[in-house]
Structure 1
Amino acid sequence: MTNPFGTVSSEAILEGTATDAYFERTHTTLEHAGKDPHVVAEVTADQFPTGSFDVFTGVEDIATLFEGRDVDVDALPDGQLFDGGPVMRIEGSYLEFAELETSLLGFLSQPSGFATAALEARLAAPDSTVLSFGARHVHPAITATVERAALLAGLDGFSHVAAGEILGREPGGTMPHALMFCFGEGNQPEAWRAFDEAVPEDVPRIALVDTFWDEKSESLLAAETLGDDLDGVRIDTTSSRRGDFRHIIREVRWELDARGHEDVDIFCSGGLGPDTIRNLRDVAEGFGVGSHITEADSIDFSLDIVEISEGSDDSSSSRTQSGDEGEPISKRGKLSGAKEVYRTADGGHHVALADRDGPDDGEALLEPLVRDGEIVREFDLEAASERCLADAEAVGFGED
């Protein structure tokens, strides 16, 4: 059976049929009229800087999408933060990429939203272990996209096995409540001992301690059961039962320390967002973050033609070959003309026309991605993550 879960195939994306119907009808109409102008198009969220930065990612998929097509593409580096102006510029005959717009925007919008939310969680507890637990909230086909965005934003790991195979990373996680149920109330020690005996030695011994009894009681029982082999306890208390969650964590910490278990870490999970993490980061060693990442709003990117070459109805013509300069053009509310974006020394984001001088201390951010259908950039997740965190510091991301 082909695509048993009803997912759109890679072939459909690459061929351009994973598109909105009006792009197909536009293609048909332009071919009928013998028109295929040479254009410059830009992908933007906001036209001008607003003071609110987001993380840019998805660019590697864009490179794959345009590979083999007769276009030039420039884009921000993977992991760069942006605030207004173009994140990508495409130049070529319009019919060469018209149907790709829908997939292009999807490749950028949702992953960039995931990464921005993950960065918020990362910076809420910069010295703590923060893991992505969000795979269960999205379609299984895009779990690797979620986990990659989390790693890009500096999270320490994730939970999804198949995503780990795609990304070449080992997933993390220890035990769910279902394991505790299978042993039953009163048999928590049996469950923890069985886990300790069964799983590989390199898996941390993190006992789930909020299933049947209060968190303090189960934490102390886990420490007594596994002794020095216990690395930590995970508290995943349902929000309706939490009360003062910070007080609960502090109480568990106190009682563990009072009995000589200072080396047992406390790991928190269950609907955590940046505010909760900030409130707990001095009393817990680690956090699992799920819905805050996966429920993030997609970045509202759009693609717009900003230059068009006059008289280029023949699909074989190009602005470079003909010597024509593109005529600035835009819809109402958008800015015409090809643009460049800059990072200034003070962390500012500056937008200017590409053929004009930028700010004296500005670093141009758009870089070649595809030239004549050939990918001209290499991709490295570690480097992208370092860039993301460094740029977040430079622009003051997340600062009140």
Structure 2
Amino acid sequence: MITPTASRLTLGLDDLALVTDLYQLTMMACYAGEGLAEQTACFELFVRRLPPDFGYLIAMGLQDALTYLEHLHFTPRQIEQLQGMGLFDQAPAAFWQQLAQFKFTGSVWAVPEGTAVFAQEPLLRIEAPLWQAQLVETFLLNTINYQTLIATRAARLRQVAGPGATLLEFGTRRAFSPQAALWAARAALAAGFDATSNVLAALQLGEKPSGTMAHALVMAFKATAGTEDEAFTAFQRYFPQAPLLIDTFDTVAAAERLAQQVQVGSRQVRGVRLDSGDLVALSQTVRRLLPDIQIFASGDLDEVTVAALIAQGASLDGYGIGTKLVTGNPVNGVYKLVEIGGQPTLKRSQDKATYPGRKQIFRSVQADRLGLATESPLTGEVPLLQPVMEQGQRRLASESLAQLRQRTAQSVQALAPDLQSITGPHPYPVTISESLEALRQSLL
């Protein structure tokens, strides 16, 4: 029996090496035993197809990927645990030696965070000894896939809400884990959101968290103090700038009372949040009663519902986006071997075939061209994959959220209008270079 190593599941920098699938370790052992471990290998991370109704993706998660690669190591205790599992009893001695001395020594090429990318285009490329490049697959897919999904949805929401709307990330309670909640907050802010309600994420990112109140506070005061207005008064005593949540009982009645109090000067109201009901009709009524305040909406909103609210004439200044931002259709990125020992490789599986060799994305105003890394850009083309780590040393300085927001906005604005559509977008033209196609045909 394997003895648990902790009373609760936590994750620190020392744990990162074991945040992997078992088959990465079993393949590493096989490579060590068969003399393949030190062969220089190249893997690329890309998506075969975009999620439904997505015209583009916004690359995100690179900073966390590089931090992972920088700190990756196996502790003596972890090696003991692996040896005690019984699964590696036949593993060669070289495997254990490699784990004990592990340090990522490879190079990474990547698309800058906040850049629009499309199907079949590598978001990043790993060039490293085979056993190292194999181990990192699981974590890289986890962080790049999830943060790219969040960033893309955030960019789509900013696109439909417009530059003047306030977008608040409220997804912590619905994210797939506390770690995912932190990643989601960063990705949303980097792709255009104004603030997050996650206190830890905001502080770590140098931002100020944002939020209002929950229905529980209103219900508690109603039950003990007797009125909904007592809840508003008590909350404003300590947080006078915060919006009030007014839909716990009767939204219109609450707005009418607040309007009367504002009119006679007994209360100041900066904003209100609507979390249920007919948001179009309610926002219009609240605007008529309280014309000088900010009105926020929340409640399972996404880019489609926000677009519909705007189209129907809702009078809203901002949106709190939670569940639909941090969940939904996944970005199904894959991590595939494209070259080993200088020899290009490809996968021929039906519906899962890959292009061989180290590749580069060449972007022009009209289209993208997927070619070999050895090719030169044509006139008007810009190569997207940039060197961000060399021989295990980071070459990319950390970028601010403001820089990432600007790059994301520019990337989306540069797309044709039919690509920006949140329903039924046209596919983006990604052509295959003659050299890449010739290489593929030669291997077939």
TM range (shorter): 0.7 to 0.9
Amino acid at match of 1:375: R
1:87-113 deviation per Cα after TM superposition (whole angstroms, max 9, x unaligned)? 111112111232111111111011111
CA contact (8 A) 2:107 2:392 kept: yes
Matching of residue 307 in structure 1 with residue 308 in structure 2: no
CA contact (8 A) 2:36 2:130 kept: no
Q: Which moved more, 1:184-193 or 1:71-80?
A: 184-193
1:323 matched residue in structure 2: none
1:56-95 pair list within 5 angstroms? 56-67=59-70, 69-84=104-119, 85-95=121-131
Distance 2:8 2:411 in 1: 39
Distance 2:144 2:380 in 1: 28
Q: Specify every segment of 5 or more residues in structure 1 that has no aligned partner in the other structure, as ranges.
A: 310-325
Q: Alpha-carbon deviation of 1:205?
A: 3.3
Question: Partner of 1:287: helix, strand, or coil?
Answer: strand
2:248 matched residue in structure 1: 211
Q: Alpha-carbon deviation of 1:142?
A: 2.6
Question: Partner of 1:79: helix, strand, or coil?
Answer: coil
1:398 matched residue in structure 2: 420
CA contact (8 A) 1:69 1:373 kept: yes
1:331-387 deviation per Cα after TM superposition (whole angstroms, max 9, x unaligned)? 1100001110122123x3321112223342111111111111100001222211110
2:442 matched residue in structure 1: none
1:251 matched residue in structure 2: 285
1:368 matched residue in structure 2: 387
Question: Partner of 2:369: helix, strand, or coil?
Answer: strand
Amino acid at match of 1:74: W
CA contact (8 A) 1:144 1:167 kept: no
Question: Partner of 2:420: helix, strand, or coil?
Answer: coil
1:272 matched residue in structure 2: 301
Amino acid at match of 2:354: K
Distance 2:133 2:408 in 1: 29
Distance 2:49 2:361 in 1: 11
**Count of residue correspondences:** 366
CA contact (8 A) 1:71 1:372 kept: yes
CA contact (8 A) 1:66 1:370 kept: no
1:162 matched residue in structure 2: 200
Q: Alpha-carbon deviation of 1:197?
A: 1.0
Percent identical pairs in the alignment equals 28
1:263 matched residue in structure 2: 292
CA contact (8 A) 1:189 1:225 kept: no
Question: How high is the TM-score relative to the length of structure 1?
Answer: 0.86
1:1-400 pair list within 5 angstroms? 4-13=7-16, 16-36=17-37, 37-46=39-48, 52-67=55-70, 69-84=104-119, 85-126=121-162, 127-138=164-175, 139-184=177-222, 187-199=227-239, 204-213=241-250, 215-225=251-261, 227=265, 229-237=268-276, 242=277, 244-254=278-288, 256=289, 261-281=290-310, 282=313, 283-309=315-341, 326-332=342-348, 333-346=353-366, 348-380=367-399, 381-396=401-416, 397-399=419-421
Q: Alpha-carbon deviation of 1:3?
A: 5.8
CA contact (8 A) 1:75 1:366 kept: yes
The verdict on how the C-alpha distance between 1:47 and 1:248 changes in structure 2, with shifts beyond 3 A counting, is closer
Distance 1:4 1:268 in 2: 40
Amino acid at match of 1:235: L
Question: How high is the TM-score relative to the length of structure 2?
Answer: 0.78
Amino acid at match of 1:206: P
Q: Alpha-carbon deviation of 1:18?
A: 1.5
Amino acid at match of 1:329: T
Distance 2:145 2:324 in 1: 16
Q: RMSD value over aligned CA atoms?
A: 2.2
1:160-191 deviation per Cα after TM superposition (whole angstroms, max 9, x unaligned)? 11222222211111211011011116511111
Distance 1:52 1:248 in 2: 33
Amino acid at match of 2:305: T
CA contact (8 A) 2:182 2:201 kept: yes
Question: Partner of 1:107: helix, strand, or coil?
Answer: helix
Q: Which moved more, 1:221-230 or 1:296-305?
A: 221-230
The verdict on how the C-alpha distance between 1:2 and 1:142 changes in structure 2, with shifts beyond 3 A counting, is farther
Distance 2:136 2:43 in 1: 12
More contact order relative to length (CA 8 Å, sep ≥ 6): 1
Q: Specify every segment of 5 or more residues in structure 2 that has no aligned partner in the other structure, as ranges.
A: 71-102, 426-444
Q: Alpha-carbon deviation of 1:306?
A: 1.0
Amino acid at match of 1:113: L
CA contact (8 A) 1:72 1:90 kept: yes
Question: Partner of 1:379: helix, strand, or coil?
Answer: coil
CA contact (8 A) 2:279 2:297 kept: no
CA contact (8 A) 1:137 1:291 kept: yes
